[in-house]
């Protein structure tokens, strides 16, 4: 299989960030997350989406379409603990994508900022663990 281009990898990450953003927006609407925590995480995801969109626009690419909410998200919105567990899984999966992407980027100038977003995702997991009262260190 041919290796994915930097642009394709950034599109994958943008789709993932949009999914996280949608999840936090939905959780805030449904009171499935503490409002202060949810707003912070949502705002960070917005900043990640905006940064990736700007980078892709610079490469002359359009943004990938947003997807419909998954049945898994709908189920996770029933209470705060269930949503926190769901969001932690999503953040951990996303962190794995960023680790691979930051290492693979052919454009070395993009590796550090992608690592920086990955580090923010790691912090999100800690914040969600704290909301659940579980051990913070991986």
Partner 1 sequence: MAPSLTRREALGGAAAALLLASCGGGDPPPATGPKPGSGAALLGSLLALERASFAAYGACLEVLRGEARQQVHAIRAQERGHASGLERLITDLGGDPPPGRSADEYARTFPRLETPADALRFVQDLEERQVRAYLEALTELPDLELRRAAAGICGDEANHLAAARVLQGLQAAEGPFVTGAL
Angle at 59 between CA 54 and CA 64, to 5 degrees: 65
Q: Which is nearer to partner 1, 15 or 122 (CB)?
A: 122
Distance from C-alpha of 4 to C-alpha of 30, rounded to nearest angstrom: 37
Provide, rounded to whole angstroms, the least separation between the CB of residue 68 and partner 1: 25
Structure token pair of residue 65:
């379409």
What x-and-dash track marks residues 71-100 binding partner 1 by CB under 8 A? ------------------------x--xxx
Provide, rounded to whole angstroms, the least separation between the CB of residue 104 and partner 1: 7
Among 9, 44, 73, 76, binds partner 1 (CB under 8 A): 44
- Residue 112 engages partner 1 in binding (rule: CB under 8 A): yes
Provide, rounded to whole angstroms, the least separation between the CB of residue 14 and partner 1: 12
First to last CA, the chain: 33
Provide, rounded to whole angstroms, the least separation between the CB of residue 102 and partner 1: 5
Rg of the chain over CA atoms, in angstroms?
A: 15
- Residue 42 engages partner 1 in binding (rule: CB under 8 A): no
Distance from C-alpha of 38 to C-alpha of 98, rounded to nearest angstrom: 22
Structure token pair of residue 19:
């999914």
Q: Give the side-chain half-sphere CA count within 13 A for 124.
A: 32
Residues lying near partner 1 in the complex (CB under 8 A): 40, 43-45, 47-48, 51-52, 54-55, 95, 98-100, 102-104, 108-113, 115-120, 122-127, 130, 135-138
């Amino acid at each position: 299989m041919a290796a994915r281009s930097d642009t394709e990898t950034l599109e994958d990450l943008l789709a993932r960030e949009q999914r996280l953003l949608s999840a936090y927006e939905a959780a805030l609407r449904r009171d499935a997350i503490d409002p202060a925590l949810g707003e912070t995480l949502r705002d960070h995801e917005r900043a990640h989406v905006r940064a990736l969109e700007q980078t892709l626009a610079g490469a002359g690419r359009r943004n990938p379409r947003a997807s419909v909410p998954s049945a898994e998200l709908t189920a996770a919105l029933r209470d705060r603990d269930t949503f926190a567990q769901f969001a932690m899984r999503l953040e951990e999966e996303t962190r794995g994508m960023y680790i691979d992407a930051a290492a693979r980027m052919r454009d070395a100038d993009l590796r550090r900022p992608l690592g920086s977003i990955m580090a923010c995702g790691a912090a999100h997991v800690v914040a969600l663990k704290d909301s659940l009262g579980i051990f913070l260190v991986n």
